[in-house]
Structure 1
């Protein structure tokens, strides 16, 4: 979406944390003193959301890894695994993934956060 204002065109898009950001500065749209919130508070909020988004992305990585690893294990038993069991197993893997991401085992979320924070 394009917005025409004060002689310049600004491109708006959704950022990593789901916040609208400007295509030119990468700062959240509407952030700063003009909204009545000190810039330091906005920066803290932006950092917190970025850290959470990076941690969630690391969780997605762990979930895909666990799912891929689980596919290498043959189904046991005479009847195999029902669809309900597969769903519950996937939900359990998702919870394991979020726990692993929260413990920063691989450091992917932390590294991504540091790289993205440096761009702001």
Structure 2
């Protein structure tokens, strides 16, 4: 089997303040491309859509451009930048660092539920 789709023609697009998510669904893979503008922060831009205090989505990601700071439920912080591959457990806040957009690819199945109104 070969299945090919372009992220340029996503199956779903979700817009939220200062950003958007494009999602492609393939057999066995949900792939997302997220673009976050300067000033974006999860607790300010997405929290009200989800009804949770922190992001409760698991992320397997790759940062294409820009920088993002992440704070987990226990208060620890890390920063992700271009070329970084990361795993991020549910229960976190995140925000764009600097004055350029942050673009990330996410290939965890949970990204299919990201920024969906509950």
TM category, shorter: under 0.3
Instruction: State TM-score, norm by structure 1.
Output: 0.25
Instruction: State TM-score, norm by structure 2.
Output: 0.25
Higher helix share: 1
Which structure has more relative contact order (CA 8 Å, sep 6+)? It is: 2
Higher strand share: 2
Larger of the two Rg values belongs to structure: 1
